């Protein structure tokens, strides 16, 4: 079974194309126009063993919000589509990832119930052209579109780049574990996850 998705999202604010293979090797090609966001998405692909291509043309002359949000929504939609009815997936996962002094914990459930709690503790205004508020917004928007429950907590760290990158690495490890094929049944007492 191929667990892939292609998403094209076009609004007056952004034009985005996403190609995703959940059973990839970590090959990525990302161009959002925001260097730091590209770096985070590359971490997600590589450590999550996802083959991921994202191309975005956004209204960066206004600011980074629409690009970050719409890329998250398109990626989350691609994950949800690639999972199909979610039969056979492990569904639940948690992961910790350090980056030097920073440590992040992610707990993830591809439950079909979208919710996110994100505590990164970022203090800078921006990281490489991405507003720190939009790092958290990206993670929340991704969870909503992926129909997942996501908890992201940076437990410690002094450097905001390290804190954000540890969060994306932990997310990658949790996604990798949660989408792992672990049988053929839908992992729910309700019999449905979408």
In a domain, 99, yes or no: yes
- Residue 97's nearest CA partner among 168, 26, 177 is 168
> In this predicted structure, what is the pLDDT of residue 184?
78
Q: Looking at the domain assignment, is residue 190 inside a domain?
A: no
Q: Is residue 28 part of a domain?
A: yes
Q: Rounded distance, CA 45 to CA 26, Å?
A: 5
pLDDT of residue 5: 98
Work out the widest C-alpha separation in the chain, in whole angstroms: 48
Tell whether 8 is covered by a domain: yes
Q: Could you give the number of structural domains in the chain?
A: 1
Q: In the prediction, which pLDDT does 189 show?
A: 63
Decide if 119 is inside a domain: yes
Tell me the backbone φ, ψ of residue 163, rounded to 5 degrees: -60, -45
Q: What is the pLDDT of residue 130?
A: 98
Please tell me the predicted confidence (pLDDT) of residue 183.
77
- The token pair at 52 is 């991921």
Give the pLDDT means over successive 10-residue stretches in the chain (194 positions): 94 98 97 98 98 98 97 98 94 98 98 96 97 98 98 98 98 98 74 65
> How long a stretch of residues is the chain?
194
CATH number of the domain residue 27 falls in: 3.30.230.40
Predicted local distance difference test score (pLDDT) of residue 188: 66
The parent domain of residue 62 ranges over: 4-178
Whether pTM > 0.75 for this model: the answer is: yes
Tell me whether residue 193 is in a domain.
no
Beta carbons within 10 angstroms of residue 166's beta carbon: 29
Q: Is residue 184 part of a domain?
A: no
Q: Is residue 150 part of a domain?
A: yes
What per-residue confidence (pLDDT) applies to 186? Answer: 72
């Amino acid at each position: 079974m191929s667990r892939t998705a292609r998403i094209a999202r076009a609004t007056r604010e952004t034009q985005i194309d996403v190609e995703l293979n959940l059973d990839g090797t970590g090959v990525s090609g990302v161009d959002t126009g925001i260097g730091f966001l590209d770096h985070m998405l590359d971490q997600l692909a590589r450590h999550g063993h996802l083959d991921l291509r994202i191309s975005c043309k956004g209204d960066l002359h206004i600011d980074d919000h629409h690009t970050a949000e719409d890329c998250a929504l398109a990626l989350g939609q691609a994950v949800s589509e690639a999972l199909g009815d979610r039969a056979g997936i492990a569904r639940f996962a948690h992961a910790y990832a350090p980056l030097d002094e920073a440590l992040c914990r992610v707990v993830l459930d591809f439950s079909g119930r979208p919710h996110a709690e994100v505590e990164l503790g970022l203090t800078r205004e921006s990281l490489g052209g991405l507003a720190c508020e939009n790092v958290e917004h990206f993670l929340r928007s991704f969870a909503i579109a992926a129909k997942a429950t996501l908890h992201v907590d940076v437990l410690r760290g002094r450097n905001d780049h390290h804190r954000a990158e540890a969060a994306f690495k932990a997310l990658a490890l949790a996604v990798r574990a949660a989408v792992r094929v672990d049988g053929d049944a839908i992992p729910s007492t309700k019999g449905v996850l979408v």
